[in-house]
Chain A
Amino acid sequence: AQKVTQAQTEISVVEKEDVTLDCVYETRDTTYYLFWYKQPPSGELVFLIRRNSFDEQNEISGRYSWNFQKSTSSFNFTITASQVVDSAVYFCALNSDTGTASKLTFGTGTRLQVTL
């Protein structure tokens, strides 16, 4: 069975602070993908990143960076110099090889509040 744990329910930071959102996953599959999605108040899921299990290289995209560590089954997400527009719920998700279905298992989400 797959499981994604986002232990931080809610984080509040002041603008320009750096913030890291934690994600720990469980799967018995050797091939899998990890995702991060942003869900602003409008509700629409915004895709941020997808990382496959064979690529442990960290990634940086602007103010966003991701740290994938297979040894600890973690895929953490850091926002540098946070902005008010970053306020949203962030979901980590796991998609492993469950045949043709490839279902996504979501974590419970971390609500990020960035204030001035």
Chain B
Amino acid sequence: GAVVSQHPSRVICKSGTSVKIECRSLDFQATTMFWYRQFPKKSLMLMATSNEGSKATYEQGVEKDKFLINHASLTLSTLTVTSAHPEDSSFYICSAKPAVAGDIYEQYFGPGTRLTVT
């Protein structure tokens, strides 16, 4: 149980276009999902916290107009990178926190999406 999927796993897009990444909790409901970004050989940096039915909370320095997050249901959160630039190329990872958690710190990670902007 507790599986989180991400789609697509890899995407290449042209500079100036937008790309949407989906994060789904497959066998549980998630009131909260987190979006992380990881540059090559670097750590994971939290970008935003996505709460079902409300606006996402962005970390300092993350442009909310560039990285649009929508958490429309208890099993799906999407991250849209708008007007992508090569510097947005990165590995994006989501995690999901169960609505009914064994403890408040429980969360499960997706497999990540590798975005390349050409």
Contacts and interface: CB of A to CB of B under 8 A. Distances in A.
Contacts, number: 52
Interface string B98-118: 000000110111011010000
B97 interface: yes
A43 B108 CA distance: 15
A49 to B, nearest CB: 13
B34 A103 contact: yes
Most buried by B among A95, A102, A105, A108: A102
Interface residues of B, number: 22
A102 B112 contact: no
Contacts of B97: 102
B contacts with A: majority SS: strand
| Size category, A interface | 20 to 34
A14 B57 CA distance: 44
Interface string A102-114: 1111111101000
Most buried by B among A33, A47, A100, A103: A103
A10 to B, nearest CB: 10
Given A43-B91, A43-B114, A101-B57, A106 B109 contact: no
Given A100-B32, A104-B34, A106-B44, A50 B109 contact: no
Interface of A: 33, 37, 42-45, 47, 50, 52, 91, 95, 97, 100-109, 111
Interface of B: 32, 34, 41-46, 49, 57, 91, 93, 95, 97, 104-105, 107-109, 111-112, 114
